[in-house]
Amino acid sequence: MSYLIKNDPEIAAIVSHELLREEHELNLIASENYTSKAILEATGSILTNKYAEGYSGKRYYGGCQVVDQAELLAIERCKTLFNAQHVNVQPHAGSQANMAAYTALVKPGELIMGMSLATGGHLTHGHAVNFSGSVYRAIQYGVDLETGLLNYQAIYELADQHKPKLIIAGASAYSRIIDFEKFAQIAQQVGALLLVDMAHISGLVAAGVHPSPVPYADCVTSTTHKTLRGPRGGFILCKNNFKEAIDKAIMPGTQGGPLMHVIAAKAVCFKEALTPAFITYQQQVIKNCALLAREFINRGYVIVTGGTDNHLFIIDLRNKNITGRAAEVALEKAGISVSRSCIPGDPEKPWITSGIRIGSAAITTRGMREQECIAMVDLIDDVIKHHTDEIYLAKIKQSVLRLCDAFPIYAE
Ligand code: DSN
């Protein structure tokens, strides 16, 4: 009998219910994925017991000689994976990675410039309700409202007008290749540093199916749990000239004890990402995503930017007379998880939105391919058409269950 069932049956029940939910539902949330059992094992290991403030060989606690090896391995593998000069694997999450990176690169009150949340950026890229918009002064660029695309000339003009100290590139809801070389040119022209937040696309970058920001950016931040398919966490890559500042900004600047069990799991994730199978997986993520977008377009849906080059896209639902929130709720009733998403120039409030974001990373991990992608677009289309019919949604849930049962996530 498991220790969890014996000691805490309530939490044990929650864990097994969540396992069933993940097995039985279609997950199209673009920022989620399923880790390997090896990563789960490392995350659940006794390394959680160890305090290790500091860095390998320079800790503020005794007894760190074993966990030091885990952190060194994680760093070496991550360096190889992304061809980076310096790596810090201690950030607890992507937001903490960004907070530490800004701490290292700019002073409080200085001007930063990132992509607005409403057009696909992230809270930590300068939003007023986040530390990034209150500790720093922030201006925000967006996308062209007609095309949904980044307009590099407009970004340059905004940067030239305001002269930010730091430009942040990277997005949570942008379906096209980001031209990091152009961002670097803009930063250089206006005298800014460039930080790329590659959290969404780091798996694609690792596999070489999206251009890497590493040659162009002073600093690159990421999570490990999205397309990279690792444990929940973050990391920072930087040029050698920022390595002391970045390490100091993490510890003692913004974090205390690192999560050594998660760092060990990150090492496993980087090892997995260095295999040929990972490249094949990422190629399939992109194929599946393009196929999903095409099938939606064939059924009369409007896709922001007209398609996708990566693992996600945004559906503009206005011609389907349903809001993003209503679609998200109806899809959930049918066993399909998506996240509502603003569309460029969205007339609805962020809580409601006019769009949904679709991502292919998780369904691809479970082995789904062309036939399943077509089937799931049919199911989603059915939900959108019958979103107020609870009985119909319950019937669709049965079809979702059959589809999921054929592609178990954690069965041997
Ligand atoms: N919340 C994440 C996403 O869903 O894209 C970004 O941090």
SS3 string of 139-165?
EEECCCCCCCCCCHHHHHHHHHHHCCC
353 is catalytic: no
Which protein residues are within 6 Å of ligand 1, measured from CB? 31, 94, 122, 172
Q: How far is CA 28 from the centre of its chain?
A: 13
Average pLDDT estimate for 98-116: 98
In this structure, what token pair is assigned to residue 237? Answer: 């890559």
pLDDT digits (tens, 9 = 90+) for 325-366: 999 999 999 999 999 999 999 999 999 999 999 999 999 999
User: Coil, strand or helix: which one is 276?
Assistant: helix
E strands of 22-156, at which residues?
26-27, 54-55, 58-59, 86-88, 111-115, 137-141
* pLDDT grade for 90, boundaries at 50, 70 and 90: very high
Nearest CA to ligand 1 atom 6: 172
53 is catalytic: yes
For Cα atoms 82, 49, 47, give the angle at the middle one, nearest 5 degrees. 35
CB–CB of 249/107 below 8 Å?
Answer: no
pLDDT for 412 beyond 70 = no
Average pLDDT estimate for 91-99: 98
- The CA-atom distances, in angstroms, between 98 and each of 63, 169, 187, 222, 226 are 30, 12, 18, 8, 16
Average pLDDT estimate for 12-24: 98
In this structure, what token pair is assigned to residue 86? Answer: 């310096």
Instruction: Supply the pLDDT for residue 3.
Output: 96
pLDDT for 1 beyond 80 = no
Average pLDDT estimate for 218-242: 98
Q: Which atom of ligand 1 is nearest to the CA of 32?
A: 4
How far is the centre of ligand 1, averaged over its atoms, from the C-alpha of 65 (Å)?
A: 35
Cα R_g (the chain), whole angstroms: 21
pLDDT for 77 beyond 90 = yes
Q: How far is CA 77 from the centre of its chain?
A: 20
Pick the catalytic residue from 41, 53, 144, 179. Answer: 53
Pick the catalytic residue from 25, 197, 272, 346. Answer: 197
Instruction: Supply the pLDDT for residue 377.
Output: 98
Kindly give, in sequence order, each residue whose CB lies less than 8 Å from that of residue 121, ignoring residues fewer than 6 positions away: 114, 115, 127, 140, 168, 170, 171, 172
* pLDDT grade for 61, boundaries at 50, 70 and 90: very high
Ligand 1 pocket test, candidate residues 27, 98, 119, 122, most atoms within 8 A of CB = 122
Sign of CA dihedral 314, 318, 323, 327: negative
How far is the centre of ligand 1, averaged over its atoms, from the C-alpha of 339 (Å)?
A: 10
Kindly give, in sequence order, each residue whose CB lies less than 8 Å from that of residue 357, ignoring residues fewer than 6 positions away: 29, 30, 173, 312, 313, 314, 315, 338, 339, 340, 341
Sequential DSSP letters for 318-329: GGGT--HHHHHH
Pick the catalytic residue from 22, 23, 41, 51. Answer: 51
348 is catalytic: no
DSSP H or E run through 265? helix 260-273
Pick the catalytic residue from 43, 124, 221, 223. Answer: 223
300 burial type by CB count under 10 A (0-12 exposed, 13-18 middle, 19+ buried): exposed
Kindly give, in sequence order, each residue whose CB lies less than 8 Å from that of residue 253, ignoring residues fewer than 6 positions away: 100, 103, 104
Residues pairing with 339 in the sheet: 357
* pLDDT grade for 411, boundaries at 50, 70 and 90: confident
Kindly give, in sequence order, each residue whose CB lies less than 8 Å from that of residue 231, ignoring residues fewer than 6 positions away: 35, 39, 42, 43, 224, 225, 262, 265, 266, 269
How far is the centre of ligand 1, averaged over its atoms, from the C-alpha of 7 (Å)?
A: 34
The residue assigned the tokens 């864990």 is 15
Q: Which atom of ligand 1 is nearest to the CA of 29?
A: 4
In this structure, what token pair is assigned to residue 272? Answer: 């997995």
For Cα atoms 295, 171, 340, give the angle at the middle one, nearest 5 degrees. 55
CB–CB of 219/101 below 8 Å?
Answer: yes
Average pLDDT, the chain: 98
pLDDT digits (tens, 9 = 90+) for 276-312: 999 999 999 999 999 999 999 999 999 999 999 999 9
